[in-house]
Structure formats: structure tokens, C-alpha cells
Amino acid sequence: MDSATLDALAGFPDQLEAHYGAIPEGFELWTPQSWQGCPSEFYSALEQLCHVRDIEIDGYHVRFVRTLKEDHPFLPGVDGDRLKIDRGYADCFAPDVFAQIRRAREETLVLLATVSAEQWRRTCDFDNYGATSLRGLVHYLCSHDQQHLAGLQWLAGKIASQV
């Protein structure tokens, strides 16, 4: 696996916390009247953190393990909107969510550090993405991370336009 992607994965929790810090106090649950142009899911800043946590744990951890253990598994998507409701994202405490994200990402990095050259080529069918490899899944996780950094900056821009 390329070092740029692994480095981005490793640095993401710090970047996420820094980007969340661009959200002014009191705006953690603020949402705009229009989401036009938003580069991530349509969640408030706090809800984005919770979503990132849950996609890492309930999405990518499961996907990686299944791809390593099963022969070309079908990997369904995760219903983020359902998780937002079921897990009460609006009631979460950001420092706790950051701690959970950091633990989850460390688990991801430990798992990926053990992958052999042959295992990187293991395949799966990823819902809405099609056939891919374990390596492809890692790139999709990195892309998801970047979408949420952009989403937080987009929200910060919208907030700045309101103040």
C-alpha cells in the first residue's frame, strides 16, 4: 500500500479535530437552509464526527475483515441516516467521539500493517462501488475521510456567511 494513503489515514484524526475546531462554539449542531454544494453528507459538524466514527467501525472495519476472510464477499453500504437517528448523534459529546475515532483508526492501522502483498489483492463487491480489492477499499476510506474534512470546512464557510 502506498505511503501517501497510509500517512493520510494516520494523520486524519488530528486533521479532523483541527477542522472541527474551525466550527464556532454554539454551531456544533447548526445546519444551513440549503446544502447545495456540500462535499459530504448533509450532517451538522457534530453529526459528521459521529458519522465518521460509525463508518470506520461499522463500515470499514467489517469490510476489511470480510474481504480478508471471505471469498469475494458482497459488502453492503451503511445507512448513515439511520445511524444518526438510532445513535442520537445530536446528543453525543465531541471529545468522547474523538477518542472513539482515534481508537478505531488505530485498530484500522494495526490491521492494515499486517496485510501481505497477496492479501492487498483480495477482492470484494462493494455496494455502489462495484468490484474492488482490499487496496481499493483503503483508498475509499481515505476518500471518505477527505470528504468529511471538506464538509467541515464547507460548514465553517456557511457559518461564517451567516455571522
Question: Could you report the per-residue pLDDT of 120-161, keeping only the tens digit for each?
Answer: 999 999 999 999 999 999 999 999 999 999 999 999 999 999
Residue-wise pLDDT tens digits, 3-21: 999 999 999 999 999 999 9
Q: How far apart are CA 68 and CA 65, in angstroms?
A: 5
Number of H helices, E strands in the chain: 7, 3
Question: Which pLDDT tens digit goes with each residue over 43-61?
Answer: 999 999 999 999 999 999 9
Q: Domain extents for the chain?
A: 3-162
Q: What is the pLDDT of residue 163?
A: 59
pTM of the model: 0.96
Helix axes 134-162, 3-20, angle to 10 degrees: 20
Position 162 scores a pLDDT of 84
Q: Cell numbers at residue 148, please?
A: 468529511
- What architecture is the 3-162 domain classified under in CATH? Up-down Bundle (1.20)
